Amino acid sequence: MTAKVLSGNYAQSYAALLARAQVVSAYPITPQTSIVEKIADFVASGELHAQYVKVESEHSALQVVISAAALGARTYTATSSQGLLLMHELLHWASGMRAPIVMGVINRAVAPPWNIGADHTDTMSQRDTGWIQFYAESNQEVLDTVLQAYRLAEHPDVRLPAMVTEDAFYLSHTVEPVDVPDPAVVDRFLPPREPHAVLVPGEATRLGSFTGPEHYVDFRHQIGEAMARVPKVLETVETEFERAVGRSHGGALPTYRIDDADAVLITMGTSTTTARSVVDELRASGRRVGLAKLRLFRPFPDEELRRLARGVDRIGVVDRSYTFGPMGPAATEVSAALYTARHRPEVTSFLAGIGGRDVTPGEVRRMFETLLSGAPATVHWEDLEDEGVTRIHG
């Protein structure tokens, strides 16, 4: 194991290197570019023996890896924001093809107006495309999760594409010490892909095809069943990763100080680190608060959530995006998952960190205060309460 000082983006590049991706394809977009630049260096230096296809759009980038995966190759691509939106049609193709592609996504705001700050609207609007979605909190977690995502995506019980997301700039361009496992260790954890149901030259095979109503539902249902198996397979993958590398990231919904908590905040990505420090601070002053991190958003870890919620009366969910539903997108999922629970806590939706706003300790403190005050559950646009930033109205 080697400690390197890496950005979240370089953590993605090193993970693709360690995974021995065989075909890489990408189109540049801020703030993803340093991932694919670093991979270009790895390929140029001969460290990574990959075919690197530099394409004319993100749409083509995803098609290249879908077709490469159809022939049995291990593939990697990365994008962000508008690029991910352009891929939308092919995101469905990838999952429908059961292509075990791993993609790095830098969570960035969606235009207009142009904004390159951290925001989850890009990946949230792709949550229904049949991709496994991880949200990473640290650069270490980025690297480790990409490696785990390959095992998960290629697992015979899963065979679905996975995206590993990281917050723009907070992770993508911020460096921190990252333990880079030895290639031999990773090779043992992640052996070469075992191709399944791939095209074979010279044989009458077809991937994709078309069907009428008699078969289509079966294809969709099989994707649903594969998705449902993900949390269980992730547990196995994390156990094996821990055995090989000596680290774990706590599965789909890791929790922090939730025992006896009156209020639990659920976060995604980098706001988790801030919230954890606030939990410590409030706990020190005797407040009973806890934290849970939605590390896996697709499939949604509803069983884990219901277990967590058994003893909690008030849950707050921090969304770094708004999807014009009844609440923030994660809050909506949390509410839906808990509606059928025997013990049904109140769920409050906090929208914070939109378009690159900082989610500050003060904001998180206010969220906990709102939860503990017993105020009726509602949607709070936390960014609008922040007095430190000049806005065009208010």
Partner 1 sequence: MAKLTIPAQELMYGGHAACPGCGPALAMRLLLKGLGPRTLVSIPACCWTVIATPYPTTALKVAVLDNAIESTGASISGLRAAADALGLDKVNIVGFAGDGGTADIGLQALSGMLERRTDAIYVMYDNEAYMNTGIQRSGATPWGAWTTTTPVAGDLRGKPEPKKDVMGIVLAHRPAYAATLNPAFPEDFNQKVEKARDIVGPRFFHIFTPCPPGWKFDSAQTIALGRLATDTGVFPLYEVVEGRLRITRKTGQLKPVAEYLSAQGRFRHLTPDDVTLIQAQVRSDWERLQKREREDLSLAH
Question: From the list 2, 113, 203, 388, which residue makes contact with partner 1 (rule: CB under 8 A)?
Answer: 203
Q: Which of residues 267-326 bind partner 1 (CB under 8 A)?
A: none
Scanning 35-43, 50-58, 183-191, 312-320 for contacts with partner 1 by CB under 8 A, the matching segment is: 50-58
Q: Does 22 help bind partner 1 (rule: CB under 8 A)?
A: yes
Q: Does 207 help bind partner 1 (rule: CB under 8 A)?
A: yes
Q: How far is the CB of 160 from partner 1 (least distance, A)?
A: 18
Task: Pick the closer one to partner 1 by CB: 93 or 256.
Answer: 93
The rounded distance, in Å, linking the Cα atoms of 159 and 109 is 30
Task: Pick the closer one to partner 1 by CB: 97 or 136.
Answer: 97
Q: Does 57 help bind partner 1 (rule: CB under 8 A)?
A: yes
The rounded distance, in Å, linking the Cα atoms of 160 and 150 is 10
Dihedral of CA atoms 324, 330, 331, 336 in degrees, nearest 10, equals: 100
Which single residue is written with the structure tokens 């821990």?
A: 242
Task: Pick the closer one to partner 1 by CB: 96 or 269.
Answer: 96
Question: From the list 112, 113, 208, 376, which residue makes contact with partner 1 (rule: CB under 8 A)?
Answer: 208
Amino acid at position 30, single letter: T
Instruction: DSSP letter for 132, please.
Output: E
Q: Does 190 help bind partner 1 (rule: CB under 8 A)?
A: no
Q: Does 209 help bind partner 1 (rule: CB under 8 A)?
A: yes
Q: Does 88 help bind partner 1 (rule: CB under 8 A)?
A: no
Alpha-carbon distance values, 329 to 127, 267, 391 (Å): 10, 12, 24
Which single residue is written with the structure tokens 């594969």?
A: 226
Binding to partner 1 by CB under 8 A, coded x per residue (else -) over 62-81, reads -xxxxxxxxxxx--------
Residue of 153, 34, 49, 50 whose CA lies nearest to 102? 153
Residues 6+ apart with CB under 8 A from 98: 159, 160, 197, 223, 226
Task: Pick the closer one to partner 1 by CB: 112 or 201.
Answer: 201
Task: Pick the closer one to partner 1 by CB: 216 or 343.
Answer: 216
Question: From the list 2, 113, 206, 373, which residue makes contact with partner 1 (rule: CB under 8 A)?
Answer: 206
Q: How far is the CB of 249 from partner 1 (least distance, A)?
A: 30
Residue of 123, 129, 146 whose CA lies nearest to 319? 123
- In this structure, are residues 268 and 292 in contact, taking their beta carbons and an 8 Å threshold? no
Scanning 8-16, 36-44, 58-66, 247-255 for contacts with partner 1 by CB under 8 A, the matching segment is: 58-66
Q: Does 213 help bind partner 1 (rule: CB under 8 A)?
A: no
Q: How far is the CB of 88 from partner 1 (least distance, A)?
A: 11
DSSP assignment of 234-283: HHHHHHHHHHHHS----SSS-EES-TT-SEEEEE-TTHHHHHHHHHHHHH
Q: Does 86 help bind partner 1 (rule: CB under 8 A)?
A: no
Question: From the list 26, 29, 61, 296, which residue makes contact with partner 1 (rule: CB under 8 A)?
Answer: 61
Q: How far is the CB of 157 from partner 1 (least distance, A)?
A: 23
Task: Pick the closer one to partner 1 by CB: 89 or 225.
Answer: 89
Instruction: Locate 118 and state its tokens.
Output: 């951290």
- In this structure, are residues 150 and 99 in contact, taking their beta carbons and an 8 Å threshold? no
Task: Pick the closer one to partner 1 by CB: 69 or 105.
Answer: 69
# chain residues binding partner 1, by CB under 8 A: 43
The rounded distance, in Å, linking the Cα atoms of 151 and 148 is 5
* Backbone φ, ψ for residue 305 (5° rounding): -65, -40
**How does strand 162-167 pair with strand 102-107?**
parallel
The rounded distance, in Å, linking the Cα atoms of 266 and 245 is 28
Amino acid at position 79, single letter: T
Q: How far is the CB of 93 from partner 1 (least distance, A)?
A: 6
Give residues in contact with partner 1 (CB under 8 A): 22-23, 25, 49-51, 53-57, 59-61, 63-73, 89-90, 93, 199-212, 215
